[in-house]
């Protein structure tokens, strides 16, 4: 996730369309999913379907992103926040009618953290005791995941983690029945049995039909019909013809939708785009030089010219929409100010030459336009620039070599917490800290925040940590992606959350 933005967050594809408006059935358009297994779902189109089929231990309020019960009806921790017990809701059922037990939860997490499982969600569980030893092969089981009884799951952590209930709410941790997964006939990724509000009824190359799961009297809809396609334009076109109730908006149609409907239904998506400094390179060791580079770049104009209305400019690290987001957290430090940039260059280098800034990026039309605009801004204040493009495949490996200079850095926060950004990207020793930012005060702040149970006090500590990072200018904040969707007038209660999905179990339809 550290370098690859999921482009489909802005324009999830879809295509085939319904022929009528069925009573009690929500019709949506998506791209063809590669998997319906939550442990391996990555793209927004996959996550939308997985969210209907599976519940995780916890979930998120669509507006506030606060943690809410799901398969777990309640949870408690020890005073040190190093042990979390989750109580399974006695009403939780799989779509085949079998009750969910603590053993199902253990199977779900053991499967994800198994060495070489291939699940992208494995690393987010590294705080569980025994995780590292399991990955090395020193032990054969995850010792930090135990079952006090058939309705309780206990996670023992290697360090305090106040936000752990939010971590286990990710769609990737949808609870699965081991006996169905292991049967593998048909493959679970194609015919899953989940714990969510809907169950798989049928699927073909072009349509996936979901029905209300047994016993889910809290769900008003009879079902969801998912029409599939390979093009980005088809679902939106079908929506305009009245054949779909919900669809994503192709990137090239966003401005049109804003003009006709406004952007009230658009939601910030937790994918952040920065350009980072390789702080291990002595060229960028002086914070004044980094600050001069930031001050020289007209980020607002750059985003407008390159992205139009498809993304949101940002001056923060914690994404908009997350609890603890601070608008314009960077403040004056990130303001466009060419005069300030020139003054900082003079302070740093005097009458000597200004070093050449090399910008590394993955070569596509959008990033090429972005870095070309950055190049012009930097050279306008006297900073020489060299552009160094890479193929996308090459770039994913290149930014891990330590040879990058100023480089495209993207991050998708896996859970709706400040910790999910600040800890992996900026704490010492993190594998995802590719800027090589190092600060003992930051490490201490993050540790204190993780050990703080009170949400307000914890939020203040993370805000202080964010300011500390931004004061040292390890990155140039550029933009935050959005989820662009349209919804038919007959639909009520469809609330997009920050991760580009929604809970169809909360949806009703007008006659």
List pLDDT tens digits, range 98-146.
999 999 999 999 999 999 999 999 999 999 999 999 999 999 999 999 9
What is the pTM (predicted TM-score) of this model? 0.91
- What's the pLDDT band for 22 if we cut at 50, 70, 90? low
Prior bond of 207 cis (ω within 30°): no
pLDDT digits (tens, 9 = 90+) for 424-466: 999 999 999 999 999 999 999 999 999 999 999 999 999 999 9
Question: Hey, is 147 helix, strand or coil?
Answer: strand
Average pLDDT over the chain reads 93
At residue 14, the pLDDT reads 37
Three-state SS for 235? helix
The structural architecture, per CATH, of the domain 55-177 is Alpha-Beta Complex (3.90)
| H or E stretch covering 210 | strand 207-212
Give me the residue spans of the domains in the chain: 55-177, 268-482
pLDDT band for 282, please (50, 70, 90 cuts).
very high
Find residue 485's DSSP bridge partners: 248
The CATH number of domain 268-482, selected from 3.40.190.10, 3.10.105.10, 1.10.540.10, 3.40.30.10: 3.10.105.10
Contact between residue 398 and residue 408 where contact means Cβ atoms under 8 Å apart: no
Instruction: Report d(CA 511, CA 509) in Å as an integer.
Output: 6
More confident residue, 232 or 226: 226
Res 15 pLDDT > 80: no
Beta strands in 100-177 (DSSP E): 145-149, 152-156
Q: Do 442 and 468 form a contact (C-beta atoms < 8 A)?
A: yes
- Dump pLDDT digits (tens) for 365-397: 999 999 999 999 999 999 999 999 999 999 999
Question: Per this entry, what is the length of the chain?
Answer: 511
278 close to 402: Cβ distance less than 8 angstroms: yes
Whether the Cβ atoms of residue 13 and residue 232 lie closer than 8 Å to each other: yes
Which has the higher per-residue pLDDT, 354 or 20?
Answer: 354
- Write out the H or E segment, with its range, that includes residue 406: strand 406-412
Mean local confidence (pLDDT), 260-289: 92
**CB neighbours (10 Å) of residue 239?**
24
Q: Map 68-82 to HEC letters.
A: EECCEEEEEECCCCC
């Amino acid at each position: 996730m550290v370098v690859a933005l999921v482009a489909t967050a802005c324009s999830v594809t879809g295509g085939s369309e319904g022929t009528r408006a069925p009573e009690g059935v929500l019709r949506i358009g998506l791209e063809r999913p590669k998997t319906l297994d939550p442990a391996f779902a990555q793209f927004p189109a996959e996550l939308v379907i997985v969210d209907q089929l599976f519940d995780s231990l916890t979930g998120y309020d669509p507006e506030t992103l606060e943690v809410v019960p799901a398969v777990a009806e309640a949870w408690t921790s020890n005073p040190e926040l190093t042990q979390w017990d989750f109580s399974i809701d006695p009403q939780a059922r799989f779509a085949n009618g079998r009750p969910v037990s603590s053993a199902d939860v253990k199977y779900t997490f053991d499967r994800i953290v198994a060495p070489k499982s291939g699940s992208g969600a494995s690393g987010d569980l590294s705080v569980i005791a025994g995780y590292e030893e399991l990955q090395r092969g020193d032990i054969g089981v995850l010792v930090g995941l135990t079952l006090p009884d058939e309705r309780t799951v206990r996670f023992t952590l290697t360090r305090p983690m106040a936000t752990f209930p939010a971590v286990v709410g990710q769609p990737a941790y949808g609870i699965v029945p081991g006996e169905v997964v292991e049967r593998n006939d048909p493959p679970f990724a194609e015919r899953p049995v989940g714990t969510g509000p809907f169950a798989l009824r049928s699927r073909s190359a072009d349509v996936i039909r979901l029905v209300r799961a047994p016993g889910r009297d809290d769900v008003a809809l009879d079902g969801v019909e998912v029409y599939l396609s390979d093009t980005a334009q088809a679902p939106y076109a079908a929506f305009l013809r009245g054949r779909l109730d919900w669809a994503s908006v192709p990137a090239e149609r966003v401005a049109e939708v804003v003009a006709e409907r406004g952007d009230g239904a658009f939601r910030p998506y937790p994918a952040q785009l920065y350009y980072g400094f390789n702080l291990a390179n002595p060229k960028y060791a002086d914070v004044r030089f980094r600050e001069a580079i930031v001050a020289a770049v007209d980020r607002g104009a750059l985003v407008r010219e390159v992205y139009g209305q498809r993304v949101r400019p940002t001056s923060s690290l914690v994404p908009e929409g997350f609890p603890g987001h601070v608008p314009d957290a960077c403040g004056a430090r990130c303001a466009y100010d060419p005069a300030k940039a020139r003054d900082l260059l003079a302070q740093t280098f005097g009458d000597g030459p200004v070093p050449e800034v090399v910008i590394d990026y993955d070569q596509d039309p959008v990033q090429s336009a972005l870095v070309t605009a950055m190049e012009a801004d930097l050279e306008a204040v006297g900073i020489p620039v060299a552009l160094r493009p890479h193929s996308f495949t090459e770039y994913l490996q290149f930014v891990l070599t330590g040879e990058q200079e100023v480089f495209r850095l993207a991050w998708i926060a896996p859970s709706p917490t400040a910790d999910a950004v600040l800890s992996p990207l900026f704490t010492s020793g993190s594998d995802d800290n590719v800027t090589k930012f190092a600060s003992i005060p930051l490490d201490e702040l993050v540790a204190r925040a993780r050990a703080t149970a009170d949400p307000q006090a914890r939020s203040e500590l993370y805000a202080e940590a964010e300011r500390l990072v931004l004061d040292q200018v390890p990155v140039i904040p550029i933009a935050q992606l959005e989820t662009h969707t349209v919804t038919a007038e007959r639909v009520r209660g469809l609330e997009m959350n920050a991760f580009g999905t929604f809970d169809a179990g909360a949806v009703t339809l007008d006659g």
